[in-house]
Amino acid sequence: MKIKIFKHNPLFKNKLLLIFKQYPEIFFDGDLKTIKRRLGQVFEPIYPKFYAEIDGQPVGFISYFKRDSSEIWFLSWFAVDKFWQNQGIGKKLMAYVEKQIAKSPISRICIETVWADNEVVRKTNAFYEKCGYQRVGLIPDYYGKQGSKAFYYKDLGTVKLSKKDK
Ligand SMILES: CC(C)(COP(=O)(O)OP(=O)(O)OC[C@H]1O[C@@H](n2cnc3c(N)ncnc32)[C@H](O)[C@@H]1OP(=O)(O)O)[C@@H](O)C(=O)NCCC(=O)NCCS
């Protein structure tokens, strides 16, 4: 199985949107509107977006951005097709983005995500911890009945890059 990663191509927007729709525990109705808009846009240097492909089909998506005046990157809109879960695609997308970020002057990454008592959310948060992110905060009931908001954090500056990653 060969996983390839490419800069986002809006041609795949409908297929990628279907992946986000597989996870209503994480991506709520309001999010889907924003995701749809983002997927319709081409690759923008201020909001880098990438997708993973297997045999010519998109199987995952990841993006990141920086807020004005902040000295930290935010990971956003990240998902892997349920059919392809647990096969290393998420880790590969994350490593790809971290490699891009490591080349930028800002090495810190924040992830804002859902915190709730269900299997999908538990898996996501376990995934971030496996990737070396530390949970640094929680806002209870941020999403009302749908859950709380957790903040994960990692400073790539404290992670040694191998020669080939530089
Ligand atoms: C989170 C997500 C992107 C991970 O992608 P993935 O391709 O399934 O993940 P990978 O196969 O690369 O890695 C899975 C890792 O998590 C681990 N893992 C999987 N389920 C787990 C669980 N329930 N508990 C602990 N670890 C778990 C695996 O063991 C693996 O680690 P390993 O390689 O060291 O064994 C994907 O599951 C997803 O799209 N989730 C729903 C959407 C989402 O939550 N997006 C993020 C919003 S902020």
79-104, pLDDT tens digit by residue?
999 999 999 999 999 999 999 999 99
| Rounded alpha-carbon distances, angstroms, from residue 89 to 79, 101, 139 | 9, 18, 29
Which of 23, 61, 86 for mutating ligand 1's site (highest number of atoms within 8 Å of CB)?
86
- Residue whose CA is at the smallest distance from ligand 1 atom 39: 79
pLDDT tier at 162 (50, 70, 90 boundaries)? low
Which of 77, 110, 123 for mutating ligand 1's site (highest number of atoms within 8 Å of CB)?
123
End-to-end CA, the chain:
26
pLDDT tier at 121 (50, 70, 90 boundaries)? very high
Mean pLDDT over the full length of the chain: 94
Ligand 1: nearest atom to the Cα of 114: 48
Per-residue model confidence (pLDDT) at position 159: 61
Query: Does residue 78 or residue 164 have the better pLDDT?
Result: 78
Ligand 1: nearest atom to the Cα of 79: 39
Per-residue model confidence (pLDDT) at position 106: 94
Q: Is 19 in the pocket of ligand 1 (CB under 6 A)?
A: no
What is the percent of the chain where pLDDT is above 70?
95
Which domains does the chain carry?
A: 4-165 (3.40.630.30)
CA distance 40 to 11: 8
pLDDT tier at 163 (50, 70, 90 boundaries)? low
66-84: per-residue pLDDT in tens?
A: 999 999 999 999 999 999 9
Residue 48 sits at the vertex; the CA angle it makes with 42 and 53, to the nearest 5 degrees, is: 75
Q: Is 85 in the pocket of ligand 1 (CB under 6 A)?
A: yes
CA distance 46 to 64: 9
Q: Is 143 in the pocket of ligand 1 (CB under 6 A)?
A: no
- Residue whose CA is at the smallest distance from ligand 1 atom 7: 90
CA distance 91 to 80: 10
Ligand 1 center to 85 CA (angstroms): 7
Ligand 1: nearest atom to the Cα of 87: 11
